[in-house]
Copies of this chain bind each other. A is one copy, B any other.
Amino acid sequence: MKQNGFYAQSGGVTAVINATACGVLETARKRKGEIGKIFAGRNGIIGALTEDMIDTSRESARTIAALRHTPGGAFGSARYKLKGLEENHAEYDRLIEVFKAHNIGYLFYNGGGDSMDTAQKVSQIGNKLGFPVTCVGIPKTVDNDLPVTDNCPGFGSVAKYVAISTREAALDVASMAKTSTKVFILEVMGRHAGWIAAAGGLAGQGRSEAPHIILFPEIPFEETRFLSRVNECVGRYEYCVIVVSEGTRYANGRFLAEAGARDAFGHAQLGGVASTVATLIRDKLGFKYHYAIADYLQRSARHIASKVDVEQAYAVGQKAVEFALKGQNAIMPIIVRTSNTPYRWTIGQVPLKRVANKEKMMPRTFISRDGFSITKPCRRYLEPLIQGEDYPPYRKGLPYYTELRNVAVPPRLGNRFMLR
């Protein structure tokens, strides 16, 4: 008898994670002879644990199609990491219990490294408990830090947004520099890896074009060297544009902007590095400055999503279903770059255990020797990922983003499950 599938979104959402959902759902609908309904977790994996699932078969084809151009996570996402098997077996047992009750034989888990780890473990547990589940992880992360895959869906659109914003703001500052703002700072995401900050580098070419300085998490922040570069830059070009990663640290490992709070994954909540850098410039150099903090705007900017990114996000969703229906288990679809010019790509796959809990850092060769800009190999890598515009439809001057009905699947288990 054909089995149902379960799809969940995990961690920070992106401008194109719903394009992946669209790929999963449209493909499953096409293959309805082989796979039953796709249930989505309301708020990600929490929806499975609490048996709070959404019946995606209740949505119209038109609504599902519109997911392709709708940012955010249509079913709700969650920052909720399952513990190790030894620490909390109950959560895994519960997942299998719920999957069994709803005849769910396929797990599609759309997230980053943590989620790949969870998907990998569920696949093991299912076998042990006599209810095998075909588990496919689907890559998603603006941080671009999953290994093996050429890049991660979600990243290309952030990269495009950051590159465009840097170029646009630079034109603004350049116009004003004579009598007003001389230094502009754009704070972008990227806690551990500088991929997003690097994308800001696409805004210009050569030393004279903005951004004049990029601060990467990979390069320890040296105040004196930094200030001297800012000063030189203002002297030479009359203004200075800086892209700073939220993850920029001192040599001792401390973030320039560390908050007290930590999230569910134990990560420090960052933000405010732009104001640290701005204060420094004001105090030591006295230049007038402005700063912008892109924050969620960068990862939800579907209005200027990269076409390549949207296509890849859809493709990994589509392929996830196709792989699962071929019986391929404990794998993740990856993006394989087959040519740089012209840019060509295809979808491959990798065992989950090779990607689970691993972070891909920027190669040092992607950062210039002085640590303040990107190299040609980096540009060659990044440029294809921001190609093409995939504009959403508009109504009354605003993008028309769809809203799902999100009808609940009737629970079959009487018991409640208490989340940690």
Contact = CB atoms under 8 A, between A and B. Distances in A.
A179 B264 contact: yes
B293 A172 contact: no
Interface stretch (A93-101, A219-227, A255-263, A311-319): A255-263
Contact of A180 (B79, B258, B288, B290): B79
A295 B398 CA distance: 21
A46 interface: yes
Contacts of A79: 176, 179-180
Contacts of A386: 396-398
Interface string A373-414: 000000000010011110100101111010000000000000
A372 interface: no
A179 B43 contact: yes
A299 interface: yes
Main SS at interface, chain A: mixed
26 contacts: A13-B171, A13-B175, A46-B179, A72-B168, A72-B174, A72-B175, A73-B172, A76-B174, A76-B175, A76-B177, A78-B176, A164-B399, A169-B295, A169-B297, A172-B300, A202-B398, A257-B265, A264-B272, A267-B279, A268-B279, A270-B275, A292-B296, A292-B297, A303-B304, A383-B397, A391-B391
Interface of A: 9, 12-13, 15, 43-44, 46, 70-74, 76-80, 160, 163-165, 167-181, 184, 186, 202-203, 257-259, 261, 263-265, 267-272, 274-276, 278-279, 282, 288, 290-297, 299-304, 306, 383, 386-389, 391, 394, 396-399, 401
